[in-house]
A and B are shown apart, each in its own frame.
Chain A
């Protein structure tokens, strides 16, 4: 079975540019999570969706970040305008069901570098 698929795997762009990260969750999973991982702060939850609806976006750093889930098989995380401090690895994860007691399955991430 295909796991969580993220694209691109690497992105290097100049500050001020718009960045769009993409995620395809595991088929049949109802919850989707976006995380950011840095050496300074570890793994941080940015936002998550249940049944395509954003439930908690309290981890989104600021208004420059936005996320959408137009359907059950696709989500995007957008940064506009990007800044060097946004450089990190961004992970998408999905889980079956919408409650606790569910393992989340992670993609291999997008390594983002903002120059």
Chain B
């Protein structure tokens, strides 16, 4: 029979453009959020994190925005490059301070040269 898998949303951008990947989280008590990048055949790689006492944090070419009012998280990548093509996951820290992360399903970013 036909197998059914997760249908990850896909974002396709032109090289050099900015990318915005969005994520909705469920627990209003979560106080820690993190973005990962996963390339084919590799494990998730930490990109950037943010705590709930902040609404914006910047890294190298990346910015994470947190809107606690609507429980929304976004990752902005400036001047997207072919090497940015990957699946991006957001995750929220367990509000019980256990150290566990709760992962979203992921978004595929495709960069067109």
Contact = CB atoms under 8 A, between A and B. Distances in A.
Interface residues of B, number: 29
A100 B31 contact: yes
B1 to A, nearest CB: 13
Interface size class of A (residues with CB under 8 A): 20 to 34
Contacts of B46: 103-105
Contact of A101 (B41, B45, B51, B89): B51
Interface string A89-115: 001010101111111111111000000
A41 B36 CA distance: 18
Given A50-B99, A106-B36, A107-B43, 11 more contacts: A33-B100, A40-B3, A43-B89, A97-B99, A100-B93, A100-B96, A103-B49, A104-B46, A104-B101, A106-B43, A108-B41
Given A101-B32, A108-B41, A42 B98 contact: no
A31 B98 CA distance: 10
The 10 nearest A-B residue pairs measured at CB: A106-B43, A39-B5, A100-B93, A101-B32, A100-B97, A103-B46, A43-B103, A108-B43, A106-B44, A99-B97
B99 A100 contact: yes
A45 interface: yes
Interface of B: 3-6, 31-32, 34, 36, 41-46, 49, 51, 89, 93-101, 103, 105-106
B89 A48 contact: no
Interface of A: 4, 31, 33, 38-43, 45, 48, 50, 55-56, 91, 93, 95, 97-109
B94 A100 contact: yes
